[in-house]
Amino acid sequence: MKLKKLNPSKKSIGEVQNDNEGNKFDKLPPDAGVSGVFPTIDENFGFIGIFFGNGIGLNKRKFTIGGGKISAGIAYIESITNTDSLNKSIIAPLIKNNINSDMDPNDIQVLVRTKYILLPVISSSNQMEQVINGLLNGDVIIFIDNSNNAIIAGNRKLEKRAIEKPENETAIFGSQESFTDDLKSNISLIIKRLPHPNLKFEAFTVGKISRTQVRLIWLEGIANPEIIEDVKSRIQKIDMDIVGGIGMLSELIEDNPLSVFPLYKQTERPDITAFNLASGFFAIICSNSPYALIAPTSLWDNFKTMDDYDEKVISANYLRLVRYVAFAVSVLISPLYISFVTYNHSIVPQTIAFTIASGRQGVPFPTVVEVLLMSFAMSIIREAGVRMPGAVGYFIGTLAAVLIGQQIVTAGYVSASMVIVIAISVISSFAISTTTMVYTSRLLNYFFIILSGFFGMFGLINGVAIVLWHLSSQYSFGMPYLYPVVPFEKEGLGDTIIRYQLKSLRKRFQILAPNNRVRVGSQVDDSDNKKLREE
Amino acid sequence: MASVNKVAKEQIAFLTYASACGNLVYTFSWVTNVTGRPFWIAVLLGVLANIPFAVWIMYLGQLYQGDTIFDILEKVLGKFFSKILIILYIILNSIIAACLLNMFTGSVKTFFLFYTPSWIIMLFIVFICAMFVNSEIQVLGRFVEILVVVYTINYFIGFSFSFFKDFKIQKILPIFDTTFIGFAKGFLISAGSTAECLFFLMVLVGSVSEPYKNSKSVVKALAYWSAVLSSAILIMSGVMSPELLSRVAGAGISVSKVIQVGEFIRGLEILILITYQLLTIAKVSLYIYSSWVSARILFNSRKSLLQLILVSLIVFLLSAWINSFNTGYFLSVFLGSYILLPFSVIILLLAALGTLLQKSRTGSGTK
């Protein structure tokens, strides 16, 4: 951390001086960034007081120990420090205990650190830079007069949400816990589900200003080491001032940020994270973000939910197929409507054709314009509903239903069959289990509407071919996006479009877990894996 | 030309399948015309007849791993002769691409987009195919793999409705009601038309590791395609009768127009259009890819993207110039009957003889 560039104002210096008698600093020394800890408490208090100014809530207190013969001082930032444990675990033990004042101040410092402070994480430093960083982390700094070392005691107080139910990925039978904004809580939720010695966490700090804490998580011996190394190098290459959360981090490390398809999966569910880790995926969590990134991911992963594994296998497969159909319907129904109404009438049975034709009488817009306008209106209503507080959101929904469902049709601006088609398309998009895929489906829908508006079925089929090609060309951390269907892997089909019985899901994917593919069976050893590798 | 990117066994099979699935899907009605009722057997055997030549290509590729047949020709015959052969290859490849594109465009205009100019349909197809080709061979392989599965399944789903009402076994019996000459002609046209796959394999072999060991994939693909095509046209003749089929161009879409089950299952030509369009996209992509790879040998990989644009433009301009279903159809029959297979065999013979000569000179068949 470079502290040299900081230049506190005179005003703040004066205010600090009021709090600290005998402060000899009226400005930061030119070598502030590399300054060591000063020998006197007043000098140290003066320095950090000038450094932080008066707005941050810096508290400094001097007291005596060793029968009143040794001066000591503590400093901390009140809002991020646990004051209860400060009193119980630092001040009280120091004041009550009798320390021999004849000892060397540096020995006293070591004694205090090793014997009297009742906190688990304690270190010492003679560098002011580490003192400053410690204060910003919520640590308590203890200075002993005439010692050039400061004690840094980890005593952070965190304001955090309780672990709540998942809001965006609800499950009927699955766990009702979701990640929170607190990194440590999230780590504990994962360890709780995977208490295995091979569960590895690697820490990174990203964002030059935000200094966001990131943890890369994987199961050693299962996850593909090449993929793990690749992810590590991608995270290390991040060169941004601020990385706000897992969303920003994802964009910085994913293969193709311009793809309309999600090349990673974000989940707020620790059970999904744990399940994927055990399958050979890796996960990334970061501070201040209630989501985990899971990768490498394929298109098919976007249609899976945790309920797929908690439900009975037949019901789970039925529901998974419903999600696939819903995606296809949300993307294709309106362009198909345009094609059939505008260009390719022959496929529509006569009775339905008459109904559609009579409904369109008096509608002033061509079908394609009608569909585009209605689809866009739906997107506006949805966005307004999401951004508004709950009660206003419901009001918007009701207003839209009355306005679009009745009045627009009655006024003759839009045909009734069009409203039905668009409503089916939008509702179907909400049946997709991944939020990002909902937006993908809407964007693809526009693309197909435009192509079918120009060329009917011919344009739509070309559009589908373009999307298939795009899907074929995408990779998620080195894994082809359509894997294990294309390239084909027989064992992978067990949990792709449908799910086999759990005991039949014997092998992990070749790309994800090349060295440890056996997942079912009590006698899992290297010979089994060797055999599978040979296969 | 050494190729870094290698295609997987599965992709070799699907690419071979797609490369065989070309003009014959339209021109089989000519085979019906010359052969009569057992035309589907002539097609079956005609496709299978390409297997030895395909294996031959893979064998030559094994001797010079990482090289296309044209790279081998350059090594064994010298630059001048190989350049002439490459130019001929690109011309032929572009013409058969233009034929397919014209037959597809003709079908689209006849049944779906009556008022859209042909050149717009052609340009759209050529543009997206060029875009698809401008990626790694593995990506193209995966893409073609999906298209093949979709169009094959879709085709049979479409025609499965014919078994409710329209398919009559009497229409295809007696099967062997033909002369030997008629059957032989049908066989030769089918074999010649399927030689399109040899054109593609000549360049694909450069992207296959251990080509001869992967011959099994090529053989399987051609065997599957022969079964799929012959059963597909057998169903068509069961719906329409071989006599009527022999007089129809764009038979697949025409036959599907006949099929109707009740009030709601109708207009199946749209379903069959999906198959024909995806097939055309896959095949035109492969034509462009073949021409592009061979053009890169010709110009030493300089300005590769420009070469792709030029090769695609040639296909488009030729298609727009022909601009007729009938011309495309008869040109395709002519090329299938007299040109494609003999040209492929000549190239393979030259490569094989050159290899033998080199072997006798150096005592080794490989680089």
Domain boundaries, chain B: 9-351
Name the residue among B296, B285, B341 with its Cα closest to residue B97.
B285
Chain A interface, mutation test: which of B11, B126, B142, most A Cβ atoms within 10 Å?
A: B142
Chain B: give the shortest CA distance to residue A229, in Å. Answer: 23
Chain A: give the shortest CA distance to residue B143, in Å. Answer: 5
- SS3 state of residue A265: strand
The angle at the Cα of A369, spanning A365 to A371, to the nearest 5 degrees, equals 110
Residue A242 banded pLDDT, cuts 50, 70, 90: very high
Sign, Cα dihedral of A359, A363, A366, A371: negative
CB contacts, 8 Å: B108 with chain A: 458
CB contacts, 8 Å: B272 with chain A: none
The phi, psi pair for A78, rounded to 5°, reads -60, -40
The shortest CB-CB distance from B124 to any of A349, A457, A462 is to A462
Which DSSP category does A88 fall into? I
Task: Indicate the pTM of the whole model.
Answer: 0.85
- Residue A366 Ramachandran class (φ > 0 left, ψ -120 to 50 alpha, else beta): beta
| Mean pLDDT, chain A, integer | 84
Average the pLDDT over A112-134 and give the result.
Answer: 86
Chain B interface, mutation test: which of A458, A464, A466, A485, most B Cβ atoms within 10 Å?
A: A458
Cβ atoms of residues B155 and B272 within 8 Å? yes
pLDDT tens, residue by residue, B144-163: 999 999 999 988 888 888 77
Q: Identify the pLDDT of residue B24.
A: 92
Place of tokens 């462009």: B288
Q: Which CATH class is domain B9-351?
A: mainly alpha
Is the Cβ pair B267, A487 closer than 8 Å?
Answer: no
Its ipTM equals: 0.93
Q: Identify the pLDDT of residue B365.
A: 46
Q: Identify the pLDDT of residue A16.
A: 30
- Residue A105 Ramachandran class (φ > 0 left, ψ -120 to 50 alpha, else beta): alpha
Most confident residue range from A302-306, A387-391, B133-137, B174-178: B133-137
Residue A325: pLDDT over 90:
yes
Is the Cβ pair B145, A347 closer than 8 Å?
Answer: no
Residue B306: pLDDT over 60:
yes
Using CA atoms, how far apart are residues B37 and B234, in angstroms rounded to an integer? Answer: 10
Supply the DSSP string of B57-98, one letter for each residue. Answer: HHHHHHHTTT--HHHHHHHHH-HHHHHHHHHHHHHHHHHHHH
Residue A23: both structure tokens together: 């402060």
- SS3 state of residue B113: coil
Q: From the CB of residue A95, how many other CB atoms can be counted at a distance below 10 Å? A: 13
Using CA atoms, how far apart are residues A339 and A421, in angstroms rounded to an integer? Answer: 13
pLDDT tens, residue by residue, B222-236: 999 999 999 999 988
Using CA atoms, how far apart are residues A260 and A479, in angstroms rounded to an integer? Answer: 17
Residue B140: both structure tokens together: 């193209």
CA atoms within 13 A on the CB side of A115: 11
**Which range among A52-61, A242-251, A423-432, B334-343 shows the weakest confidence by mean pLDDT?**
A52-61
Average the pLDDT over B27-34 and give the result.
Answer: 91
Q: Closest residue of A to B145, CA-based? A: A486
Using CA atoms, how far apart are residues A62 and A71, in angstroms rounded to an integer? Answer: 7
Q: Identify the pLDDT of residue A51.
A: 84
Q: Identify the pLDDT of residue A515.
A: 86
H helix runs in A254-366, sequence order = 270-279, 307-310, 313-338, 350-359
Average the pLDDT over A169-176 and give the result.
Answer: 82
Residue A423: both structure tokens together: 């409503």
Is the Cβ pair B113, A480 closer than 8 Å?
Answer: no
Chain A: give the shortest CA distance to residue B129, in Å. Answer: 9
pLDDT tens, residue by residue, A339-386: 988 888 877 888 888 888 888 888 888 889 999 998 998 888 888 877
Is the Cβ pair B146, A466 closer than 8 Å?
Answer: no
Q: Closest residue of A to B263, CA-based? A: A349
DSSP bridge partners of A60: A75
Q: Identify the pLDDT of residue A156.
A: 82
Q: Identify the pLDDT of residue B359.
A: 83
CB contacts, 8 Å: B145 with chain A: 486, 488
pLDDT tens, residue by residue, A90-102: 888 888 777 777 7
Give the CA dihedral A101, A102, A107, A108, nearest 10 degrees.
Answer: 0
Q: Closest residue of A to B128, CA-based? A: A466
CB contacts, 8 Å: A459 with chain B: 124
Chain B: give the shortest CA distance to residue A294, in Å. Answer: 24
Q: Closest residue of A to B261, CA-based? A: A349
Residue B3: pLDDT over 50:
no
Residue A395: pLDDT over 80:
no
Q: Identify the pLDDT of residue A13.
A: 29
CB contacts, 8 Å: A486 with chain B: 142, 145-146
Average the pLDDT over B201-212 and give the result.
Answer: 94
Q: Identify the pLDDT of residue A2.
A: 38
Give residues with Cβ within 8 angstroms of A69, minimum separation 6.
A101
Residue A314: both structure tokens together: 């037949």
CB contacts, 8 Å: B6 with chain A: none
Q: Identify the pLDDT of residue A344.
A: 82
Average the pLDDT over A55-78 and give the result.
Answer: 85
pLDDT tens, residue by residue, A12-29: 322 333 333 344 444 555
Residue A526: pLDDT over 60:
no
Using CA atoms, how far apart are residues A472 and A7, in angstroms rounded to an integer? Answer: 54
Is the Cβ pair A488, B142 closer than 8 Å?
Answer: no
Residue A5 banded pLDDT, cuts 50, 70, 90: very low
Q: Identify the pLDDT of residue B96.
A: 96
Chain A: give the shortest CA distance to residue B233, in Å. Answer: 23
Residue A227: pLDDT over 90:
yes
Is the Cβ pair A482, B146 closer than 8 Å?
Answer: yes
Using CA atoms, how far apart are residues B88 and B70, in angstroms rounded to an integer? Answer: 12
Average the pLDDT over A23-44 and give the result.
Answer: 67
Average the pLDDT over A122-128 and give the result.
Answer: 88
Q: Identify the pLDDT of residue A522.
A: 55
The shortest CB-CB distance from A472 to any of B125, B131, B143 is to B143
The shortest CB-CB distance from A487 to any of B10, B266, B270 is to B10
Chain A: give the shortest CA distance to residue B78, in Å. Answer: 37
Q: Would strands A199-206 and A212-219 be described as parallel, antiparallel, or unpaired?
A: antiparallel
Residue B100: pLDDT over 70:
yes
CB contacts, 8 Å: B116 with chain A: 455
Using CA atoms, how far apart are residues B112 and A457, in angstroms rounded to an integer? Answer: 8
pLDDT tens, residue by residue, B311-322: 999 999 999 999
**Which range among A72-86, B115-129, B276-290 shows the weakest confidence by mean pLDDT?**
A72-86
Average the pLDDT over A131-137 and give the result.
Answer: 87
Cβ atoms of residues A45 and A73 within 8 Å? yes
Name the residue among B195, B231, B177, B202 with its Cα closest to residue B332.
B195
Residue A308: pLDDT over 50:
yes
Residue A535: pLDDT over 60:
no
Q: Give the B-side interface with A, CB within 8 Å.
A: 8, 10-11, 108, 112-113, 116, 121, 124-125, 128, 131-132, 135-136, 139, 142-143, 145-147, 150, 257, 263-264, 266-270, 273-274, 277-278, 281
C-alpha of A321 from chain center: 28
